[in-house]
Chain A
Amino acid sequence: MEFYLNAVLQGLCLSAMAFGIFISMKIFNIPDISTDGTYTLGGVISGFFISQSYNGFAIVGLVMVGGALAGAATGFIHTKLKVNALLAGILVMTALYSINLSILGQSNLPLLNYPTLFTVLNVFQNPTQNTLFIVASIVLILLIIVSYVLKSDFGLAMRATGNSQTMVRAMGVNTDTMKIIGLAIANALTALSGYLMTQLQGFADINMGIGIVIVGLGSVIMGETLINFFAITSVVKMLLTVVLGAVVFQLVLAFALSLGINPNLLKLITAAFVLLIVGLPRFLFKKAE
């Protein structure tokens, strides 16, 4: 039970990143690979400052600014220098590897003896319940903020940018700026996931972000299946399905591990699972078309 509860916690921690992927992938149609780097960036910034005995709450702003800058860099390279979005993401991800390593100073930094977000604040006696409460609250706050932004006039312009650039330009919106801001927001959220995960696991690792974009993508695609199935148009409900997708994803991985699968194969299973949820609907609905 504890095992699956931990998977739920991880899923909730990754929800922030899934919101980010929802913005970059679903709204802007940009596959943002820099996610792998910004997730780790969030992790190493938290790791560094927590190991310097900074308060877990105090550094949240720093983490998000770091992620936002990286995202803005991807957006700038893509829109202003006209580099293919995939390549722009790979460039930023590669550059971030060195930056992350410089910040962390070593490839793995254990934080078990330092106070974290989950030990500073004690609402419940039971540490797991306490962690669940804090993570769930953070996800709820993010859900409210992100859905507010997406429903605002600015958010409408952002959502329309991914839909029809011709239309949005004619509405007086600078689509380049919109994409840069959008990717900055997306990566700020991704860095936040790295921040949460580092404190949940009690260590920061230079390789923690490898393949994380696939996890986010898988969560969003699972959410999207629900969105299409129930014809959901409300932004809040869309984001809820994304959270659900992130949690279910981790539960599936936990289930695979509980079957006794070699943990070294976890990334292979992740990739296969995402391929399955991407490919299966096409395969199933092929006959109907």
Chain B
Amino acid sequence: MIDLQNLHKTYNAGQANKVNAIQNVSLSIKQNDFVVIVGANGSGKSTLLNLISGNVLPSSGKIFIDDKDVSRQPEYKRSPAIARVFQNPFSGTAADLSILDNFRLAALRTQNKTLKIGVNQNFKNKISQQIAQLGMGLEDKLSQPIGSLSGGQRQALTLLMAVMDDLKILLLDEPTAALDPKAANVVMQLAQQLTQQYQLCTILITHNLKDAFTYGNRIIQMAEGKISKDLDATAKTKLTQNEIFNWFS
């Protein structure tokens, strides 16, 4: 699904404050994979995610999504295949728009936004049912601005919005960092459920080692822009939480 070949990313090339954020990373991720990436601050995790989403373009190397070379494609061209959930709950939703309007946009992620009125009763009923699954009681508040909800609620809705339209890759960039433990749990379990239900290829960046231990079927540790550990499903099940802790000492 995702193929990274000899990827390099250098910021401020040729200047004193040059940063080699990603150095010669090659990585292949399959459909149905739930990959957890851990690593210290500045190890290149977020840059790697940004390279995959197209938010940042590589200095050299190739990125293939579904065997298609997307290395030079800007983010909005790649978004038909990719959905992202950001660390900041405010980034993933448009605060002044209602829940319903946000979902309408999400439902059109891979399509053109035309001058048609898409928010009708039919659409409303469909979204209402989807949101009811969350068990947060939000299905009655569809016309409320999404900005009036809590961070946890917004993050859960962002996840649900991701699967509103045809999706292959789900990128989670510390989605629970700003949430309380209970909300974080809800969001992580929803992420896992959606990954299985829609057969997604999910990449999770986290500093929460308990989450890194609990979720996913592959774990990667990054350090100084390189992949320093890469454990598959069998190796990950043998891993203990303490061992992951020791990676960081």
Q: Give me the interface of A with B, judged by CB distance under 8 Å.
A: 148-149, 151-157, 159-160, 163-164, 166-175, 233
Contact = CB atoms under 8 A, between A and B. Distances in A.
8 contacts: A153-B114, A154-B115, A156-B101, A160-B102, A164-B95, A167-B92, A170-B75, A172-B77
Interface of B: 53, 55, 75-77, 79-80, 82-84, 86, 90-98, 101-102, 104-106, 108-111, 113-119, 143-145
Contacts of A155: 115
A241 to B, nearest CB: 15
Contact of A169 (B76, B95, B144): B76
Contacts of A168: 94, 105
B159 to A, nearest CB: 13
Contacts of A157: 105, 108, 113
A233 B76 contact: no
Contacts, number: 94
A25 to B, nearest CB: 13
B76 A152 contact: no
A167 B94 contact: yes
Nearest to A160: B94
B86 A166 contact: yes
A233 B100 CA distance: 12
Contacts of B82: 170
A171 B109 contact: yes
Contacts of B145: 233
Nearest to A163: B94
B113 A153 contact: yes
A152 B114 contact: yes
Contacts of B86: 166
Contacts of B90: 164
B94 A233 contact: no
With most chain A CB atoms within 10 A of its CB, the pick from B55, B96, B114, B118 is B96
A79 to B, nearest CB: 13
A38 B80 CA distance: 38
B97 A163 contact: yes
A154 B114 CA distance: 5
Contact of A152 (B96, B109, B116): B116
A167 B110 CA distance: 14
Nearest to A26: B96
A216 to B, nearest CB: 20
Given A173-B76, A233-B143, A153 B104 contact: yes
Nearest to B106: A171
A164 B161 CA distance: 15
A164 B93 CA distance: 7
A119 to B, nearest CB: 35
Contacts of A173: 76, 113
A168 B98 CA distance: 15
Q: Report, nearest first, the 10 A-B pairs whose CB atoms are least far apart.
A: A163-B94, A160-B94, A172-B79, A157-B113, A166-B91, A153-B113, A152-B115, A153-B118, A154-B113, A164-B94
Contacts of B144: 233
B103 to A, nearest CB: 10
